[in-house]
Amino acid sequence: ETKHGGSKNGKKEGLSGSSFFTWFMVIALLGVWTSVAVVWFELVDYEEVLAKAKDFRYNLSEVLQGKLGIYDADGDGDFDVEDAKALLGKYKYSFSLLSIKEAIKESLKKLREKQESKKEENEEEKKKTRKGKDATDRKDKKAVDTNKLKKDSDKAKRDRGKEKGLDKSVKTKETTKKSTSEKDGTVQVGKDKETKKITRKKRNKQSSCLKERSVPAQPASPESEETVQPAEKSYVESGKTFSKKKKKPKLLNKFDKTIKAELDAAEKLRKKGKVEEALRAFEALVNQYPQSPRARYGKAQSEDDLAEKMRSNEMLQQAINTYDEVVSLPNVPSDLIKLSLKREADRQQFLGRMRGSLVTLQKLVQLFPTETSFKNDLGVGYLLIGDNSNAKKVYEEVLSLAPNDGFAKVHYGFILKAENKIAESIPYLQEGLESGDPGTDDGRFYFHLGDALQRMGDKEAYKWYELGYQRGHFASVWQRSLYNVKGLKAQPWWTARETGYTELVKSLEKNWKLIRDEGLAVMDKKRSLFLPEDENLREKGDWSQFTLWQQGRKNENACKSVPKTCALLERFPEATGCRRGQIKYSIMHPGTHVWPHTGPTNCRLRMHLGLVIPKEGCRIRCAQENRYWEEGKVLIFDDSFEHEVWQDAESYRLIFIVDVWHPELTAQQRRTLPAI
């Protein structure tokens, strides 16, 4: 009985309640854990499923209307209940089975004609795309009527709407094409470049060690231009070029493709911020495959990242050397050469090795002579070593190749202004800024364009200052210094009490005659210790200065000529230790006018002690208020605000200038801020 399914007592056993519950729970738990596994391990890409569902979605009713429209018996353009009744003999219409067959044949013929017409349009579109691509390669800049393109696009959409009666496969193809076109519709122009500093301050900052300033983070992926056009063509509109979307840089040669999995594993570590592990992984790959350019580039990037983490100049130099090694290997993809040399030049500039950077940029231009962006970088390289002449030649070459290059225009305008060709510089600066090209939205160019316009008597200057302020380059329309510490109190004129430097002011005013007499003694000597102002700030006249301290450093030889004045100042570190200022005598002769200008930083205040002041004709304007000097009295103003000077007296004016740290700067900031 047991053998045949019975129990020993002869009764057949069924599934007990507890056993049923147990199996129910097991199955339920399996379902739950399966669902969790699907979600947790992302076994199903729900976004892809939804996207496909969206792509394949179509209007069933319209498709049915297209299919059944051939049975339109009453001639109203669609198939409805009346047509069905007619076909079933409910109504007597003058048609026969033969007429239905003919109607079916006619409709099918129309469908085939539409399909053939669509194929011809597709062929024409492909030909146009190929022509556009060829035109791009030849660098032909042919203007395209965008209104016509829009009309063509609208027409294509209407055509697609008419063809909804086609079969499912044709419908799907059209839907997918439309989706792709809409996705690529957004146009972004240009490639963002790292802003280049041209002033001496930039050179000083770059030569300072990493302990004072961290290395900019290494980008996780190479920069690429994101200019998109749906038809993947190059268009020129209103002087701006819109090119097709750049492909992802090719960083692997044939050999590197065979070890791609190992390279990707090491790169994944670097992108996750595991710098030391990434460096070890790339070093192992370099040892195993010494001819692999991508492995060596990954090693350079990891060293670059580690230099940032360790704040180590030595490690950064090692990264620079490795970037250079990449280029020397055989069969290096051109995109990898570009990235390596560009990053090498940038890191050299950061360490203050401007001439080394220049050599690297020259190599880059020689290898890729048609790349205007590399020529632009080379021009900046020349400017960083003060070689305006060669920089000018580079930008002239760029503008001959690309007349609308905004980056070249603003830098060329900057050079012209430095040559005091004020009127000539204005159109280049203005057109360059208006272009909106990457690298042009820089406070220096707003500063110099406004300054040039002011010198030409053009009130448009303040329009550009206002725009520079709105874009965050200036603290205000009047306060236009470029090297600032945020949050410091800002006002044009100050009192001694507001500065907190009352002891210094009292000492200067108490000893003003001593300071004056030593200054006059130096003036009487035949040695020309007073040097002409050399910052191109004068419209006309004669203005000279005799400097005792500059950037917090004492001029020992100068102080030998005025020992008592220097001894007096030694007691005030807020002045002698101000590495963003000067202490000097200033003499201005009659007929001098100093253009409106601003100082470079908001980190200092400037004191003027009157020594020899004519009774009339001398004044200074700071922002919108004029003041006058008095002998033995100190004027205090913030020279980061616009100020202007007139000397229309009949004799010279002599003052003593003392720069001091802004009182709100901390001791730490005073120690670590780079000198200006």
Helix (H, G, I), strand (E, B) or coil at 416: helix
Q: What share of the chain is helix, strand, coil (3-state, %, to 5)?
A: 55, 10, 35
Token reading at 546? 């005799």
**Distance between CA atoms of residues 473 and 464, nearest Å:** 11
Residue 257, C-beta contacts closer than 8 angstroms, at least 6 positions apart: none
Q: Where in the chain are all domains bearing CATH 1.25.40.10?
A: 259-471
* pLDDT at residue number 450: 97
Residue with the larger pLDDT of the pair 598 and 222: 598
DSSP state of 70: G
**Distance between CA atoms of residues 357 and 277, nearest Å:** 29
**Distance between CA atoms of residues 639 and 658, nearest Å:** 12
Residue 579, C-beta contacts closer than 8 angstroms, at least 6 positions apart: 551, 552, 670, 673, 674, 675, 676
**Cα-to-chain-centroid distance, residue 589:** 46
Residue with the larger pLDDT of the pair 247 and 225: 247
What does CATH list as the number for 493-672? 2.60.120.330
pLDDT higher than 80, residue 399: yes
**Distance between CA atoms of residues 405 and 372, nearest Å:** 9
Would the pTM count as exceeding 0.85?
no
Please report which confidence band the pLDDT of residue 25 belongs to, taking 50, 70 and 90 as the band edges.
confident
E strand intervals along 354-483: none
| Structure confidence by residue, pLDDT tens digits, 69-92 | 555 555 555 555 555 555 555 444
Among 507, 496, 536, CA closest to 637 = 496
How many Cβ atoms from other residues are within 10 Å of residue 359's Cβ?
Answer: 13
| Structure confidence by residue, pLDDT tens digits, 450-461 | 999 999 999 999
- Three-state SS string over 537-584 comes to CEEECCEEEEEEEECCEECHHHHHHCHHHHHHHCCCHHHHCCCCCEEE
Residue with the larger pLDDT of the pair 220 and 395: 395
Among 438, 379, 433, CA closest to 192 = 438
pLDDT higher than 50, residue 164: no
pLDDT higher than 90, residue 49: no
Residue with the larger pLDDT of the pair 96 and 507: 507
Residue 516, C-beta contacts closer than 8 angstroms, at least 6 positions apart: 611, 612, 654, 656
Rounded average pLDDT over 204-232:
35
* Most confidently modeled range among 15-24, 113-122, 229-238, 354-363: 354-363
Token reading at 675? 């000198």
* pLDDT at residue number 114: 64
* pLDDT at residue number 246: 63
Please report which confidence band the pLDDT of residue 29 belongs to, taking 50, 70 and 90 as the band edges.
confident
Token reading at 582? 């000067």
pLDDT higher than 80, residue 38: no
| Structure confidence by residue, pLDDT tens digits, 139-163 | 444 333 444 434 444 444 444 444 4
Rounded average pLDDT over 642-654:
97
Rounded average pLDDT over 6-34:
67
The pairing of beta strand 493-494 with beta strand 531-532: unpaired
Helix (H, G, I), strand (E, B) or coil at 646: strand
| Structure confidence by residue, pLDDT tens digits, 532-589 | 998 889 999 999 999 999 999 999 999 999 999 999 999 999 999 999 999 999 999 9
* pLDDT at residue number 463: 96
Is CATH 3.30.390.30 what the domain over 259-471 is classified as, yes or no? no
| Structure confidence by residue, pLDDT tens digits, 518-533 | 999 998 766 678 999 9
Residue 479 near residue 641, CB atoms below 8 Å:
yes
Mean pLDDT, the chain, integer:
79
Distance (Å) of CA 446 to CA 472, 491, 631: 11, 22, 38
How many Cβ atoms from other residues are within 10 Å of residue 149's Cβ?
Answer: 15
Tell me what percent of the residues of the chain surpass a pLDDT of 70.
66
Residue 301 near residue 322, CB atoms below 8 Å:
no
**Distance between CA atoms of residues 601 and 594, nearest Å:** 19
Q: Where in the chain are all domains bearing CATH 2.60.120.330?
A: 493-672
| Structure confidence by residue, pLDDT tens digits, 584-605 | 999 999 999 999 999 999 999 9
β-partners of residue 653 are 588
Please report which confidence band the pLDDT of residue 409 belongs to, taking 50, 70 and 90 as the band edges.
very high
The burial class, CB within 10 Å (0-12 / 13-18 / 19+), for 46 is exposed
**Distance between CA atoms of residues 573 and 436, nearest Å:** 45
Residue 347, C-beta contacts closer than 8 angstroms, at least 6 positions apart: 215, 304, 316, 319, 320, 323
Please report which confidence band the pLDDT of residue 398 belongs to, taking 50, 70 and 90 as the band edges.
very high
Residue 233 near residue 136, CB atoms below 8 Å:
yes
| Structure confidence by residue, pLDDT tens digits, 281-330 | 999 999 999 999 999 999 999 999 999 999 999 999 999 999 999 999 99
* pLDDT at residue number 155: 44
* pLDDT at residue number 84: 56
* pLDDT at residue number 251: 94
**Distance between CA atoms of residues 90 and 92, nearest Å:** 7
| H-helix segments, 334-421 | 334-350, 354-367, 372-384, 388-401, 406-418
Residue 135 near residue 234, CB atoms below 8 Å:
yes
β-partners of residue 644 are 621
pLDDT higher than 70, residue 244: no
**Distance between CA atoms of residues 137 and 158, nearest Å:** 33
Token reading at 489? 């109190």
* pLDDT at residue number 420: 93
* pLDDT at residue number 120: 65
Token reading at 507? 């000492």
Helix (H, G, I), strand (E, B) or coil at 43: coil
